[in-house]
Amino acid sequence: MKSIDLFAGAGGLSCGLSMAGFSTILANELVEAHANTYKKNHPNTKMVVGDVRQVCEINLKQKLGLKHGELDLLAGGPPCQGFSVNAPIRDLDDERNHLFKDFLRVAAELLPKSILIENVPGIVSLGKGTVVQQIYKELINLGYSVEHKILYAGHYGVPQTRFRTIIIAVKGKKRISFPEPEYNSTAVANFAGSKELCIKLAPLFAQDLLPQTTVSDAIADLPIIESGSKNEPIEYASKVSSKYQSLLRGDSRLAHNHSCNGLGKINLERLKHIPQGGNWTNIPHEMLPKGMQRARRSDHTKRYGRLHPDGLCSTILTKCDPHWGAFIHPTQDRVLSVREAARIQSFPDSYLFYGSLPQQYEQVGNAVPPLLAQRIGEKIMETIG
């Protein structure tokens, strides 16, 4: 089945959709470094580098040899910075919140069999729900059935506390379904309202699920490295010790992108005081940054967090910075490497990241977890048959 991926980033969504059986024939990404990573991992996909408006100006049907309704899936995640619950400004005047309109322009031109829009949970409450209402209105007017839910990545084997809003539209009058949870994983939703859109695990149902994928399941086979080290492809530290490691390693013989940001001397000293599962409250008061010396112990509970091997990772962000969350390695005094972050996002080890180290972290952090994308893709494929 053929798909198009707009706002594609480094290609997490396309990676997962390809595992579900979709072939992405065209992708678009604004940032050249991200597009370069996408192109090297998806050499058979036509890439349009630049603003999505450039895609709108192309005669896509002619360029791709498609007729109305022939494309199986139009997918994408319009940039979500303006929607994020962490953003200081969340209103309809943010021009980034209007990019979904360009996505819908492409949908109106191609009229694909199905449409997938992914975004942060904050999109649901943005403008008191008017953004999602507008998306529904536009798609229904084009002849689609539409549904949306907030999916939790841990339910699909991803070892992090990541929630995403998923909007699925299918041409005609069809019943839309979302992938059922497969793993017994739970997390506290860190967004206000709309929690009724999340799939909840019934206690009796939960005992039939697989145990959640842990941090250790994800990264225990990767070698020890120094803080701030920039490493060439490096041998694995051990044989695989989990199904998750086996799945992601595949046929890879070396670990690529296993490099990490460095920390200053004072931060390295702070890390020595933090146990597994601990955070900034374990650091001696006099060693804390001045701002955090005035903080309540109940605040910022993820800051300077050291991951517990038997637990989950925080949502992977565009920087694995201890000031931002729990990104300290369980047993080594350093932050997660790019490859470890990619593992926690569920990227295969064969998926390589290019550009500077900050660009690689950003590419991983902005991505849709491929395993989540795969499960959604499989459900869409069942629906459009």
Active site residues: 80
Pick from 22, 21, 41: nearest CA to 363 = 41
Between the CA of residue 50 and those of 37, 39, 40, 222, what are the distances in Å? 15, 14, 17, 36
- Position 146, amino acid: V
Residues 6 or more apart from 190 whose CB is under 8 A from it? 85, 161, 163
Distances (CA, A) of 268 to 265, 332, 334: 5, 10, 7
Inter-axis angle of helices 32-41 and 357-366, nearest 10: 70
Neighbours of 175 (CB within 10 A): 8
Tokens 């702070």, located at residue: 270
Q: What distance in Å separates the CA atoms of residue 79 and residue 224, rounded to the nearest whole number?
A: 35
The total of other beta-carbon atoms located within 10 Å of residue 54's CB is 13
Neighbours of 5 (CB within 10 A): 31
CB atoms within 10 A of CB 39: 17
Q: What is the C-alpha to C-alpha distance for residues 364 and 351, in angstroms, rounded to an integer?
A: 11
What is the greatest pairwise CA distance in the chain? 67
Distance CA 219, CA 242 (A): 10
Report which DSSP code applies to 328. Answer: B
- Using alpha carbons only, give the angle 332, 274, 220 rounded to the nearest 5 degrees: 30
